[in-house]
Amino acid sequence: MPKPLIGLLTPQDIYEKEYKTLLETQCDVIYGKSVNRYPDYKYTTEELLDYFGNCDGIIVGGRDRVPKDFIENAPKLKVITKSSIGVEKIDIKTASENTILVTNAPIPHNFISVAEGTITLMLSVLKRVFELDQMTRNGQWRNYDILPNLLYTKKIGIIGFGRIGKAVVERLKGWGVELYVYDPYVPDQVIKDAGVINLALEDLLKTCDVISIHVVLTHETHHLLNKDRLNRMKADSIIVNTSRGGVIDEESLLECLKSKRIAAAGLDVFENEPAVASNPLFGLDNVVVTPHCISLTSENLRHLTLTAIDECTNAIHGNTPKYIVNSEIIERWKKRISIY
């Protein structure tokens, strides 16, 4: 009987040792294009089918799309595993229709990395680190026209109260700030028990000094912060986005930042990625940017890799994985697995 076949769409060269554990679980492995050597590579559907169309399971990275045409033409596929949290690039509906589990890796190393990175950006913007760094490198000394701002006493608005939003709140509690949350899918009592104040989105935007975004990208959250909502923010407020670029209308954000309708922004994510040097946001002094890497700590990446391996191998060997995105198909999936 042939061994199950696992496809690594976006392997990382430094985790060759971890990938070899797949062989110890009696699997064969197909390596795709390394993210280190091909950082911007995007498979066509035809390439996905050529490389991975005969796989029992695939492990996908942040750059990888798993479209309908691939899923419907990969007859042996039993599990699609994302080696991070966000699964918006996977056609989950088609996967469920074809009795394929979708799993991800919402492990503490991951959401705590994002939370720490969020606060790093928040402080970088408030403390005007970019401007002061450039000023110092240019041989200039103190400039009282460029003064940092306190985080202390600020009103912080958290949009999205999932794992990351909660981790940000927990880490900010010792800073002497006021904490507010908007999340229509979290019960009021859960927010109250966390020691924060629940506000409607419009109220949160006009009340808070710092807005921090922690939602997944869906049809509902696409351009959640549109021109109208951005204009509701206080003129001296800042916005931090470490979720997905499409949650903010980037063109409207640019207008608000250029006109100082919003004081500043810290952005790890962009509407079009990888972002290019010509992005007009990059020409603004009141914006701090990072290349969608705020969670990519060395510790996190290794644990994400190991978790994805465990999730995928468990599934193809007929065991129920831990982090299932489409859990509504689990009984149907078990029946499918049992016939192999």
Of the residues 18, 116, 131, 273, which is catalytic? 273
Nearest to 8 by CA among 67, 51, 38, 70: 51
Angstrom CA distances, 125 to 17, 24, 148, 186, 289, stand at 39, 47, 9, 29, 10
| Three-class secondary structure of residue 103 per DSSP | strand
- In this structure, how many other beta carbons lie within 10 angstroms of the beta carbon of residue 144? 5
252-275 exposure pattern, b = at least 16 Cβ within 10 A, e = fewer: bbbebbeeebbbbbbbbbbbeeeb
| Three-class secondary structure of residue 80 per DSSP | strand
Of the residues 163, 292, 303, 311, which is catalytic? 292
Residue 232 token pair? 């509701």
Active site residue 223: no
Task: Please name the residues in contact with 335: beta carbons below 8 A apart, sequence gap of 6 or more.
Answer: none
Q: How far apart (Å, rounded) are the C-alpha atoms in residues 284 and 261?
A: 14
Let me know: does 323 contact 90? Beta carbons within 8 Å.
no
Of the residues 244, 250, 303, 311, which is catalytic? 244
Active site residue 292: yes
Active site residue ranges: 244, 273, 292
